[in-house]
Amino acid sequence: MNNARIHQMAKDVEAVHQRDPDFANANDSPVVASALRQIEVIGEDRKGFKWILVVITMLGTGTSLYGFSKWQNGVQKIDDSIKELELEKLKLEVAKLKGE
């Protein structure tokens, strides 16, 4: 949508220049001045939007890393202990079966 607006504003500016090719200062025209200001605002909006996306991405990455570290230090250690006990239990059962 913004690109379409920029193209339309460029056409408006070009139309002003075509109507009056000897126009000394294009910024004196209200159409040109308005179009240039709108293009400037759109550019500023794009920069702001980019920084909003950067912040959201950083927050998402940080949250993911925090969650992974909590899982690795908490849940995974408990799961590893359970797996070791199950393995030990299976080894004892196999040794008991072989002994019979």
Q: Which domain holds residue 17?
A: 2-99
The predicted-structure confidence for 1-51, as pLDDT tens digits, reads as follows 466 776 777 777 777 667 766 655 555 667 667 777 777 777 777 778 888
What is the number of other CB atoms lying within 10 angstroms of the CB of residue 35?
22
The predicted-structure confidence for 27-36, as pLDDT tens digits, reads as follows 566 766 777 7
Q: Give the DSSP letter of residue 100.
A: -
C-alpha to C-alpha distances, 16 to 32, 41, 54, 95, nearest whole angstrom: 7, 21, 39, 94
Alpha helices in the chain (DSSP H): 2-19, 30-70, 76-99
Give pTM, 2 decimals.
Answer: 0.50
Residues comprising the chain, all counted:
100
Rounded Cα–Cα distance for residues 1 and 18 (Å): 26
Q: Averaged over 94-99, what is the pLDDT?
A: 90
How many domains does the chain divide into?
1
Rounded Cα–Cα distance for residues 16 and 25 (Å): 11
